[in-house]
Amino acid sequence: MDFTSVFLPLSFFVFIFFLFQSLLNFFFPNRGNLPLPPGSLGWPYVGETFQLYSKNPNVFFAAKQKRYGSIFKTHILGCPCVMISSPEAAKFVLVTRAHLFKPTFPASKERMLGKQAIFFHQGDYHAKLRKLVLRAFMPEAIKNIVSDVESIANDTLQSLEGRLITTFQEMKTYTFNVALLSIFGKEEVLYREDLKRCYYILEQGYNSMPINLPGTLFNKSMKARKELARIVAKIISTRRQMKLDRNDLLESFMGDKEGLTDEQIADNIIGVIFAARDTTASVLTWILKYLSENPTVLQVVTEEQEAIMRSKDKCGEEKALTWADTRKMPITSRVIHETMRVASILSFTFREAVEDVEYEGYLIPKGWKVLPLFRNIHHSQEIFPDPEKFDPSRFEVAPKPNTFMPFGNGIHSCPGNELAKLEMLVLLHHLTTKYRWSTVGANSGIQYGPFALPQNGLPIRLSKKSQTQK
C-alpha cells in the first residue's frame, strides 16, 4: 500500500480534529472548572448580531438580563462576548480591574481612525495621550474659547433660520466646527472646508464592509483618510514654522517634551474629531426632541437662560457669554444629564480580557469581549424609578457612583466631556432665548445605526422669536 495514500488523509483528519478542538476550547473553555456565564452564543460566526442590531437595544438587553441575570454570554460581530449590566460589574471592568480589560475595536476601525489613536491603547502610551488631551480640554483651557464657541453656535442657528432641517445633520456640522476649534484654535477656519470634505467621505465608510477594493465605500474612505493625514501634516508643518504659542490640542500634542511623531499626532487628531462629533450631535438632537415634547421643562430652561441675559444687561456687561455664565445653568445641565441617561447614546463599550478573569464565580476567558451595558444601568428601575420617563429633576441629587456613565468610567472615560457640556450649554442658551422650533412629521420612532436617534434625524422647522415672544 502506498504510504502517501494513507498518511495524507490521516494528517488531514488530525488537522481537522485539532482545529475543531481549538474552536471548542475557545468558545467553550473549561479552565479551573469555572463555568461560563449563562446565555446563548446563537448561530455559528454571526451569533446574535442580527438580533442586537435589528431591534431596539432596550428590548435585546432587557430580555437577556431578565432571563439570565446581570451577567450573561452572547456572540456578536464574530466575537464571543460577556455582557454585564450592574454598576458593580461595570466598576470591576472599567475601574478596579481595568488593567485586565483592554479597549478593543474591529481592526477595520483601527485602520480608518489610526492605530496610534488613544482609543486603542492602554498603559504608559495611553496615560501620556490622556494627559495631553486633558491639558487642552480641562476647564482652565476651554474657558478661553467660550466666545469662539458662541460665535459658531450663533452662526449655526442663523444659517438654519426659516428652514426645514434635519436636526442631527445640522448638529453634526456644529459639533464638527467646535471640534476643529478645540484642536486647531482660531486657525481652523483656514482648513475647515478641506478637513470637512475629507472627513465626510471617511465617515461614510465607517460602518461599511472592510473590503478595500476600488469603488467600495471602504476604499474611498481609506483614500480620504490618507488625504486627511496629509492636511494635518501640513498644518503641523505650518505651526512649527510660525513658532507661535497656542493653547489648543494640537499645541499640546506638539510639545517638544512629548516626543510624539507626526503620524501619532495625526491619528489622535482624527480620533478626537470622531469622538467629539457624532455623540454630542446625537445628544443635542435628543434634547430638542425632549424639550419640544415637554413644554413645562422647556419653559423653565428658557427662563433660566433669559435670567442670565437680563443679569448681563442690568450690569452693563457685554452680552457675550462667559465661562462663569455657563456655571449658572443648573436646570439646563440637568436636562443634558437626563437626556444622556434616557437616550443612552452609547449603549455599551467594548473591552477585551487580557487574561482569564473570574467574576462572581464565572469565567471570563482571555480574548473574549466584555461589554458593560450602560443602557441597562441607566434604565434600571431600582436605580432610576420610572426610568423611561424624561424627568430632569431626578438629577437635583447626584446619582450614586457607577450608576450614571454617559462618558464611560475609569481611565478610559471621555477626556472631552467638559468641552461637550460647554458646547451644548452655549447652543441651548441661544436656541431657547432667540428661537422656537416645531417638529415635522411623525417622530415617535427610533432608528439605530450605530447611535440611537429620533426617526429621520428629527426634522424640525426653526424660526426666530418675535420681540413679544422673548
User: How open is the CA angle 60-277-335, to the nearest 5 degrees?
Assistant: 70
Report the binding-site residues: 414
Question: Do 58 and 148 fall within a single domain?
Answer: no
Domain membership flag for residue 4: no
Question: Do 295 and 186 fall within a single domain?
Answer: yes
Q: From 351, 335, 353, select the one nearest 343 (Cα to Cα).
A: 335
Listed in sequence order, the residues at least 6 apart from 414 whose beta carbon sits closer than 8 Å to its beta carbon are 275, 407, 408, 420
Question: Do 101 and 242 fall within a single domain?
Answer: no
- The residue with cell 475609569 is 410
pLDDT score, position 287: 98
Preceding peptide of 385 cis, ω within 30°:
no
- β-pairing, 101-103 with 435-439? unpaired
pLDDT score, position 175: 96
Q: Which amino acid is it at 456? A: N
Sign of the alpha-carbon torsion through 175, 176, 180, 181:
negative
Domain membership flag for residue 106: yes
Question: Do 31 and 111 fall within a single domain?
Answer: yes
Whole-angstrom distance, CA of residue 443 vs CA of residue 454:
6
Question: Do 331 and 356 fall within a single domain?
Answer: no
Count CB-CB contacts under 10 A for residue 226: 11
Q: From 190, 286, 195, 272, select the one nearest 239 (Cα to Cα).
A: 190
Q: 423 is written with which cell numbers?
A: 458646547
Report the binding-site residues for heme: 414
Question: Do 223 and 102 fall within a single domain?
Answer: no
CATH code at 60?
A: 3.30.43.20
pLDDT score, position 469: 57
pLDDT score, position 1: 42
Tell me the whole-structure pTM to 2 decimals.
Answer: 0.87
Longest dimension (CA), the chain: 105
Number of domains in the chain: 2
Count CB-CB contacts under 10 A for residue 376: 24
- β-pairing, 71-76 with 446-448? unpaired
Listed in sequence order, the residues at least 6 apart from 345 whose beta carbon sits closer than 8 Å to its beta carbon are 279, 282, 283, 286, 406, 451, 452
Domain membership flag for residue 364: yes
Domain membership flag for residue 383: no
Whole-angstrom distance, CA of residue 461 vs CA of residue 440:
7
Domain membership flag for residue 100: yes
pLDDT tens, residue order, the chain (470 aa): 443 343 334 344 433 433 444 454 555 555 568 899 999 888 876 788 777 766 676 788 888 888 999 999 998 877 899 999 999 999 999 999 999 999 887 777 788 888 899 888 888 999 999 999 999 999 999 999 999 999 999 999 999 999 999 999 999 999 999 999 999 988 888 888 999 999 999 988 876 777 788 988 889 999 999 999 999 999 999 888 887 777 899 999 998 676 899 999 999 999 999 888 889 999 999 999 999 999 999 999 999 999 999 887 766 555 889 999 999 999 999 999 999 999 988 888 889 999 999 999 999 999 999 999 999 999 999 999 999 999 999 999 999 999 999 998 888 888 889 999 999 999 999 999 999 999 998 767 888 766 788 989 999 999 998 765 55
Question: Do 226 and 202 fall within a single domain?
Answer: yes
Question: Do 61 and 145 fall within a single domain?
Answer: no
Q: From 198, 187, 252, 196, select the one nearest 229 (Cα to Cα).
A: 198
Q: How far is the CA of 318 from the CAs of 147, 154, 308, in angstroms?
A: 11, 16, 12
Sign of the alpha-carbon torsion through 60, 378, 92, 53:
positive
Residue range of the domain that includes 99: 26-115+345-378
Question: Do 349 and 463 fall within a single domain?
Answer: no
Domain membership flag for residue 103: yes
Domain membership flag for residue 395: no
Whole-angstrom distance, CA of residue 205 vs CA of residue 213:
13
Question: Do 141 and 217 fall within a single domain?
Answer: yes
HEC letters along the chain: CCHHHHHHHHHHHHHHHHHHHHHHHHHCCCCCCCCCCCECCCECCCECHHHHHCCCHHHHHHHHHHHHCCEEEEEECCEEEEEECCHHHHHHHHHHCHHHEEECCCHHHHHHHCCCCHHHCCCHHHHHHHHHHHHHHCHHHHHHHHHHHHHHHHHHHHHHCCCEEEHHHHHHHHHHHHHHHHHHHHHHHHHHHHHHHHHHHHHHCCCCCCCCCCCCHHHHHHHHHHHHHHHHHHHHHHHHHHCCCCCCHHHHHHCCCCCCCHHHHHHHHHHHHHHHHHHHHHHHHHHHHHHHHCHHHHHHHHHHHHHHHHHHHHCCCCCCCCHHHHCCCHHHHHHHHHHHHHHCCCCECCEEECCCEEECCEEECCCCEEEEEHHHHHCCCCCCCCCCCCCHHHHHCCCCCCCCCECECHHHCCCCHHHHHHHHHHHHHHHHHHEEEEECCCCCCEEECCCEEEHHHCEEEEEECCHHHC
pLDDT score, position 8: 37
Q: How far is the CA of 174 from the CAs of 98, 113, 149, 159, 162, in angstroms?
A: 34, 21, 9, 11, 18
Question: Do 233 and 300 fall within a single domain?
Answer: yes
Q: From 75, 84, 68, select the one nearest 359 (Cα to Cα).
A: 84
CATH code at 286?
A: 1.10.630.10
Q: From 15, 280, 317, select the one nearest 173 (Cα to Cα).
A: 280
Question: Do 133 and 246 fall within a single domain?
Answer: yes
Domain membership flag for residue 58: yes
Q: From 451, 237, 226, 458, select the one nearest 347 (Cα to Cα).
A: 451
